[in-house]
Amino acid sequence: KVVAVIMVGGPTKGTRFRPLSFNTPKPLFPLAGQPMVHHPISACKRIPNLAQIYLIGFYEEREFALYVSSISNELKLPVRYLKEEKPHGSAGGLYYYRDIIMEDSPSHIFLLNCDVCCSFPLPLMLDAHKRYGGMGTMLVIKVSAESASQFGELVADPTTNELLHYTEKPETFVSDLINCGVYIFTPDIFAAIHDVYINREGRANLRRYSSFEAIQSATRTIPVDFVRLDQDILSPLAGKKQLYTYETMDFWEQIKTPGMSLKCSELYLAQFRYTSPDLLASGDGKKNATIVGNVYIHPSAKVHPSAKIGPNVSISANVRVGAGVRLSGCIILDDVEIMENAVVKNSIIGWKSSLGRWSLVQAEGDYNARLGTTILGEAVTVEDEVVVTSCIVLPNKTLNVGVQEEIIL
């Protein structure tokens, strides 16, 4: 049997995702019309002999309850949310729930970060992992040398694929091969994490009984029950024939900012062409709106037949789109109203917001730039004919004059 664990983190980690993380936990923010965490969960469906999926995090249990029960029914597979009372780190969280995870006596455990967007080639990783015969195999990808330092950089043996060297977000360039945050382990991972705790205790005792200044300062900063997968496990075990790499040639992105969620929504919409074409809208401008490229429209949304939607648009529940509206490169969240002839480009429109007639909400569409996309928080009102360009607008604001390149608090 195999189990999958998805690390969802908690509220304190979502700060870069503001203002979209005020009311919705980041893992439930919709990308291509599905909660972020839904994409790795659906990828798990393709794992042979999958017994359970666990989400581990420190959000309140009630925030995930509804989603977890509906997805369990849909997949006909138990999905459980396990809440940590406080953050234990990416490996510490896994270890904290080791008894529950091992209940089904799995031979393999997938471990996935929830804030990455990729094709999750899990069955291929499982095959590769069995061939390598180590304790763990991690998904890796080549990125540009300039962007590599935001991630864990690593060196792998070109013939055996063994992980030879690993450094988390190094200051000086090591390699353009990076850690994708998707792993498969044998249950030996728990012993490896246990060893980190034992070493910590040893060092804490050493500190207690030592008067040497050097020993004291070298050991002081380590929190006892916080274990990070990258620094505490991957780095020390590199080059010991226990960890291997599997390189993906598909798409991969990390979702830390609202701008990147637009980019990832686009990537998942494109993937739907191959995996779930029935989720993509079609229309010809007669009975339904004109649809261009990849578009998701929730069945409860009402879109006027004279509107033109796409490419790369996802429209959530109960949205109303008026006559002559033009939408491209955007995410429209639940209960938004867009009135006649408004235009939205490269933007995210927050829950319950309202865009007036002939209004224009737009940005250049540079996903990595701070103001490269326009983000409206919850319940923002843009009045008739107002133009909003490259702005971040916090919840409950009313815009009655044009604004450009501003953060509106």
From 38, 88, 200, 345, residue interacting with ligand GDD (rule: CB under 6 A): 88
**Maximal CA-CA distance, the chain:** 82
Least Cβ distance, residue 27 to ligand GDD (angstroms):
8
Please give the full DSSP string across 219-239, using - where no structure is assigned: HHT--TT---IIIIIIHHHTT
From 116, 135, 260, 289, residue interacting with ligand GDD (rule: CB under 6 A): 116
Q: Which residues contact 9 (CB under 8 A, 6 or more apart)?
A: 26, 27, 57, 58, 87, 114, 115
Does residue 395 interact with ligand GDD by CB under 6 A?
Answer: no
DSSP-derived letter for residue 172 is: S
Q: Which residues contact 276 (CB under 8 A, 6 or more apart)?
A: none
Does residue 113 interact with ligand GDD by CB under 6 A?
Answer: yes
Size of the site for ligand GDD (CB under 6 A): 27
Does residue 254 interact with ligand GDD by CB under 6 A?
Answer: yes
Does residue 14 interact with ligand GDD by CB under 6 A?
Answer: no
Least Cβ distance, residue 107 to ligand GDD (angstroms):
23
Distance CA 218, CA 207 (A): 9
Q: Is the dihedral of CA 376, 262, 113, 4 positive or negative?
A: positive
From residue 315 to residue 354, the character string flagging contacts with ligand GDD as x (rule: CB under 6 A) and all else as - is ----------------------------------------
Of residues 255-294, those binding ligand GDD (CB under 6 A): none
Q: Which is nearer to ligand GDD, 140 or 280 (by Cβ)?
A: 140
Does residue 142 interact with ligand GDD by CB under 6 A?
Answer: no
Please give the full DSSP string across 25-72, using - where no structure is assigned: -GGGSEETTEETTHHHHHHHTTSTTEEEEEEEESS-HHHHHHHHHHHH
Q: Is the dihedral of CA 117, 121, 122, 126 positive or negative?
A: negative
Among the residue ranges 66-74, 84-92, 198-206, 241-249, the one whose residues contact ligand GDD (CB under 6 A) = 84-92
Does residue 152 interact with ligand GDD by CB under 6 A?
Answer: yes
- Binding-site ranges for ligand GDD (CB under 6 A): 7-9, 13, 56-58, 84, 87-90, 93, 113-116, 151-152, 168, 178-181, 228, 230, 254
